[in-house]
Amino acid sequence: MGGDGGRGTRRAPVGRRPRERPVAATEELSGHADVVSAVEIAAGGDRLFTVSSGGTAIVWDVRADGGFGGPYPDLPGRWVAGRPEVVEPGRLVVVPTRPVSRTGGGDPIFLPPADTRTVSATFIDPRDGGVVGDVAVADMPAEPGLVTSVAVSPDRTRVAVTTGLVTTVLDTGTRKKVTRIELPATGEPGRDGRPLPAGVVSCAEWTPDGTRLLLCAWGSPFSGTGDLAVVDAATGEVERRVPVSGRARVSASSPDGRLLAVASEFMPRVTIIDALTLDPVDVVPLSGTDTVEDLAFSPDGRLLAVAGVQGFLQFVDVAEGEQAGDPARFAAPLLQAEWLADGETVVVAALNGTVSLFDVDRGLLRAPPLPASDEVAESHVHLLPGAAEELVAFSWELPGRRYPLEPAAWLAEACAIVARDLTPTEWDRYLPGRPYEPTCSDLR
């Protein structure tokens, strides 16, 4: 699925462009890691062939209705406002959602209009995208920069939903509200200059035993500081405050629950914390100066993916307590990073309406960026976690898309487009010096 080496065109991915507009001179089709050495358009005008100096061939489907994968249902009248979390693997996920605006106004991404501030915990069957439950929890304040998030307890019986000033705990079985939590006000001013009525929370995690919540709380006004508020999940009582480096913005728990990663809003660094003692383990500076938008541990807990709003994808070696490799830069702000089960591939969702598969070891894209919707637009794109057989992308208020992850499916799609092997002349032209091999006929 992209990259150099292998069997030449046997590794050719299927490209796709948005359907609602023709390819313009200013549009870029990104996919090759090397210099593009040859470009041809098929006689019918429905396919574009590109070959790089490294020997990678890409077949771009440029039909108006072309493309790989299939549609995934939208959420009627709502849009996905944050990272989804798994409640029951393969059967139930929960996502923070907000209503689609009927009035417009404001910034649809960073400061949505007034009629879209009510946050719900929406429960979805990932197999068909069907909504099986929806619970309105609280309204987001009309303040820029505040986000909503969900965090599922270790035993998967409860979910905490943060909405800026209020954190609500729900029972995942009955969908009933269990606890409402408001942190003490810090004096942080709102847009009108008046102090906000409660402390701001940007993210949440659970302690390994599931008895307490760790809330990413803002510190004193204009200080850029913050901490983790340790809160009794049953009573809502704040038991202690744990300092972190800078104002905590996003967090993630390791697969074994032993470590917690927290990223600052203003400082390019990640703090690793012992989830049992809440003592700091490492503070890792990042070479890419970016505001961190999402964190994700690899399946084995060895690496931490760090996605930022300036398009940086960076990695932390958790055991060594240092950055691993150089940052990769994407063309749009990144909203989410999700590891595939192979532990070698990270999928990133971007604000330009695309998702990309990144080969961590080689530092290359595995395929051209894929659209998160047939109706491509700048949008909140989020990924369904726990992907095994397919990749599912939510695209704001639009229908999303699902893509198979089996390499044979990608190869079959490429061959369905080309419908033949390369001729010996074409092979010598595009892949000189390599022994000739069938590219599609041996799949039949």
Between 33 and 129, residue with greater pLDDT: 129
For the segment 150-166, what is each residue's pLDDT rounded down to a tens digit? 999 999 999 999 999 99
Q: Of the segments 49-53, 64-68, 89-93, which one has the largest average pLDDT value?
A: 89-93
**Vertex 172, ends 166 and 175: CA angle to 5°?**
70
- For residues 142-147, give the mean pLDDT: 83
**Cβ-contact 160, 169 below 8 angstroms:** yes
**Measured between alpha carbons, how far is 94 from 71 in angstroms, rounded to an integer?**
20
The predicted pLDDT at position 66 comes to: 47
Between 16 and 255, residue with greater pLDDT: 255
Task: Return mean pLDDT, the chain.
Answer: 84
**Measured between alpha carbons, how far is 200 from 219 in angstroms, rounded to an integer?**
9
Residue 58 has pLDDT above 90, yes or no: no
Residue 15 has pLDDT above 60, yes or no: no
**Cβ-contact 382, 81 below 8 angstroms:** no
The predicted pLDDT at position 405 comes to: 87
Q: Of the segments 25-39, 46-60, 184-198, 414-428, which one has the largest average pLDDT value?
A: 184-198
Q: What is the band of 30 on the pLDDT scale with cuts at 50, 70, 90?
A: low
Q: Which residue type does 366 have?
A: R
Bridge partners of 251? 262
Residue with tokens 């909503």: 148
Query: What pTM value is reported for the model?
Result: 0.81
Q: Is 424 helix (H, G, I), strand (E, B) or coil?
A: helix
Residue 10 has pLDDT above 50, yes or no: no
Instruction: Give 311's contacts (C-beta < 8 A, 6+ positions apart).
Output: 290, 329, 330, 331, 332, 333, 334, 350
- For residues 207-236, give the mean pLDDT: 90
Residue 134 CA neighbour count, 13 Å, CB half: 14
Residue 234 has pLDDT above 90, yes or no: yes
Q: What is the band of 425 on the pLDDT scale with cuts at 50, 70, 90?
A: confident
For the segment 255-296, what is each residue's pLDDT rounded down to a tens digit? 999 999 999 877 899 999 999 999 999 999 999 888 899 999
The predicted pLDDT at position 25 comes to: 35
Q: What is the band of 184 on the pLDDT scale with cuts at 50, 70, 90?
A: very high
Between 44 and 151, residue with greater pLDDT: 151
Q: What is the band of 76 on the pLDDT scale with cuts at 50, 70, 90?
A: very high
Residue with tokens 């004096």: 187
- For residues 345-371, give the mean pLDDT: 91
**β-sheet with 390-395: strand ranges across:** 70-72, 398-404, 390-395, 381-383
**Cβ-contact 180, 166 below 8 angstroms:** yes
Q: What is the band of 376 on the pLDDT scale with cuts at 50, 70, 90?
A: low
Say how many C-beta atoms besides its own lie within 10 A of residue 352's C-beta. 18
In Å, the largest CA–CA distance within the chain is 74
Residue 149 has pLDDT above 90, yes or no: yes
Between 225 and 419, residue with greater pLDDT: 225
- For residues 395-405, give the mean pLDDT: 90
The predicted pLDDT at position 140 comes to: 92
Residue 47 has pLDDT above 80, yes or no: no
The predicted pLDDT at position 379 comes to: 79
Q: Which residue type does 176 have?
A: K
Residue with tokens 């699925």: 1
In order, the DSSP letters of 18-35 are -SSSPPPTT------SS-
**Measured between alpha carbons, how far is 193 from 29 in angstroms, rounded to an integer?**
46
Class of residue 404 by CB neighbours under 10 A (exposed 0-12, middle 13-18, buried 19+): middle
Residue 60 has pLDDT above 90, yes or no: no
Among residues 428, 371, 422, which one has the least CA distance to residue 400?
371
Residue 18 has pLDDT above 60, yes or no: no
Residue 108 has pLDDT above 70, yes or no: no
Residue 268 CA neighbour count, 13 Å, CB half: 17
**Measured between alpha carbons, how far is 122 from 84 in angstroms, rounded to an integer?**
9
**Cβ-contact 230, 278 below 8 angstroms:** yes
Q: Which residue type does 18 have?
A: P
The predicted pLDDT at position 357 comes to: 93
E-strand ranges in 220-353 read 226-232, 238-243, 248-253, 259-264, 269-274, 280-285, 292-297, 303-308, 312-317, 322-323, 328-329, 334-339, 345-350
- For residues 162-182, give the mean pLDDT: 97
